[in-house]
Amino acid sequence: MNDNDLNHRKNRLISDSGKNIVPPFDTRRADHGYEKHQHLYLHCRTWQFHKAADALGYSQSTVSFQIRQLEEELGTVLFERINRTVTLTDRGKEILRYAHRMKQLAGEMQEMVQPKQEVRGHLRIAMSDSLCEEIAEKLFVLLQRKYPEVTMKIVIAGTDEMFRLLNQNQVDFVYTLDRHIYHSDYVIVTESQEAVHFVTGYQNSLNGKKQVLLQELICQPFILTEKEMSYRRMLSEYLASRSLEIQPVFEVGNTELICRMLEKNASAISLLPDYVTEKAVQEKRLVRLDVKDFQLDIWKQLLYHRDKWISPQMQAFMNVIKEVQA
C-alpha cells in the first residue's frame, strides 16, 4: 500500500468518525477476515465446499462466496476448479499456512483477553416480528444467564428498513427472514433455510385434501402479515408472476395473533413459517396445506456490517446464538 492509499484510509477514518464505526487497528475488526481464512482452512481439511459449509453451519453457496471474496481481496487465485475437482494453487498453499497461524493466534488471543474482561453494554437488533419470540424466549434468556450486564433493544422492521438502519449504524445486527442474502458489505453470523406453508384451522374443509390448487386457495378469506413483511412480499410477487392476487380480509404483523385468529375462524387461511405454527400443528389446532407447484425459498440470517467494530457484547451474542443453533 503506497502513501496515498494510507492517507486516503486515514482521512476516511477521520471523516467517518461521526457516523461510522471502525477504530484503526482493531483486532475484532479482523474477525470477518479471519472467518474467510477459516473457510479456506476447513475446505482444505475436507477438500469439499459442502463439508466445510456443514462444519461452519453455513450454506455451500455462502462458503463459495466467501472464498471468492478472499481471492478478490488477496488478488490471487487460491483454488483450481476443473471438472468439479478443486485443488489448491501454489499461492493457495502458502496462504493456507497463514490461515493455520491465524486460527491458532485468534484462539490464543481470545483465551488471554476473555477471562479478564466482564462483558457489558447494549445491543440493538432489527428483525421481523415473527422472530421476536425466538430472541426473547431462547437467546436473551441464555444471554442474560451468561452475560447479565448486557442489555438489548429489538427494533421491528421490514427487510429494507432493517438494512437502512444497519447501514447507518443505528443497529448492530439484522435478523432477517427473507431471500438468501449475501453481499460483500455484510458478514453472515448464522443462517438456516426455513419452510413456509399455507395454514388454516383444523376444522377447515380443505383439511384432508391431498393437494390444493393455488387458484382454488386464493378465493378463500386470507389473514396475512403486512405487505412489508418478507414472505408476504414474496407471496405477492409469486402470485403476480401468475397474474393472481390475494385481497386479505385482515392484515396484522403479529404472527401469534394470526394463529389464534385462524383457530377461531375455520374458513380463514394464512401463509406462515413452519417454526411459527409448529406447536399449533402438533396439537391439531392448525393444519398445513399442500399446495400444488408452490414453494418459497426463505432464509433466516443474522448479519452485521463488515465495517462494524465488533464490541464485546456483540461477540457475546454471536457466541450464544451459535451455541443455541449448534
Three-state SS string across 8-51, please?
HHHHHHHHHCCCCCCCCCCCHHHHHHHHHHHHHHHHHHHCCHHH
Instruction: List where CATH 3.40.190.290 sits in the chain.
Output: 196-295
For domain 117-194, the question of CATH label 3.40.190.10 is answered with yes
Give the dihedral of Cα atoms 222, 228, 231, 232; nearest 10 deg. 20
For 218-259, write each residue's pLDDT tens digit.
Answer: 889 999 988 777 888 889 999 999 898 998 999 988 888 999
The domain defined by 196-295 folds into: D-Maltodextrin-Binding Protein; domain 2 (3.40.190)
Q: What is the largest CA-CA distance in the chain?
A: 73
**In a 10 Å sphere around its CB, with 0-12 CB exposed, 13-18 middle and 19+ buried, how is residue 274 labelled?**
middle
For 167-186, write each residue's pLDDT tens digit.
Answer: 999 999 999 989 899 888 99
User: Domain 3-115 carries which CATH code?
Assistant: 1.10.10.10
C-alpha cell at 151: 442489555
The whole-angstrom separation of Cα 185 and Cα 167 is 9
Instruction: List where CATH 1.10.10.10 sits in the chain.
Output: 3-115
Q: Residue 115: pLDDT band by 50, 70, 90 thresholds? A: low
The whole-angstrom separation of Cα 160 and Cα 228 is 9
Q: What pTM value is reported for the model?
A: 0.63
C-alpha cell at 39: 473457510
**In a 10 Å sphere around its CB, with 0-12 CB exposed, 13-18 middle and 19+ buried, how is residue 122 labelled?**
exposed
Burial code (b: 16+ CB inside 10 Å, e: under 16) for 237-271 equals ebeeeeeeebebeeeebebeebbebbbebeebbbb
Instruction: List where CATH 3.40.190.10 sits in the chain.
Output: 117-194
Q: Residue 55: pLDDT band by 50, 70, 90 thresholds? A: low
